[in-house]
Amino acid sequence: MSFLATTANAQFIGINLDAAIAYSAASGTASGGAVGISHPVPFIPNLGASRVIFNETENTTSSADANSVLTLETKTTISTFNFFYNIPFPVVSIALGIGAGTMTTNTAVTETVSGTATSDNSELSTPVSEAFIHIGLPFWNTIEFHLGYHAMSVSNIDITSKSGIVVTNYNLSNKSYTGGMTTIGVQIAF
């Protein structure tokens, strides 16, 4: 009968909030992050979402005419939904997950020939797959601070393909946005 006097250990529902501090395929700064909901039910995955946004500008001179300059201003958004499991360890917590989503690029294509500019837009969308890991330090069973790495895999794309401007005289290669988003975050349990 002594087992009736023991205290019960409650499992908590947790909310994960992460901020992106870098994305390896971005030439500048990136914004965004990840959110997730953890629950105590075993064998059922937890749910989350990730998003990273970054801008880049590229200027290229024509190989046929030195007076022709092509300017590409691209806003890229990568959004995924994911499933993850929390793996308990005595001192640290680890979360492993996978996800899928889309990457959208919106590129303003401007060709300037001898001072005269012509502009058009090129918007593309392509599938993304994601795998991630979070490693954290829990405190008092209610709060956890963690670092995360989200590996995003995307096929190479021609960001000017939907534009009405012919870019054949410019040495452009397909863009690769495959990379990793580094995050820092907190989980609050209640």
75-91: pLDDT as tens digits = 999 999 999 998 878 88
pTM of the model: 0.86
Residue 6: pLDDT band by 50, 70, 90 thresholds?
very low
| Domains (range + CATH), the chain | 13-189 (2.40.160)
Indicate whether 74 pLDDT > 50.
yes
Which segment of 60-69, 167-176, 178-187 scores lowest on mean pLDDT?
Answer: 167-176
CA dihedral 61, 67, 68, 74 (to 10 degrees): 60
Is the backbone of residue 128 left (phi > 0), alpha (psi -120 to 50) or beta?
beta
**Quick one: pLDDT at residue 115?**
83
List pLDDT tens digits, range 26-70: 988 999 999 999 998 888 999 999 999 999 998 888 877 878 888
As beta bridge partners, residue 185 has 18, 146
Higher pLDDT, 43 or 164: 43
**Quick one: pLDDT at residue 8?**
45
Mean pLDDT score across all residues of the chain: 89
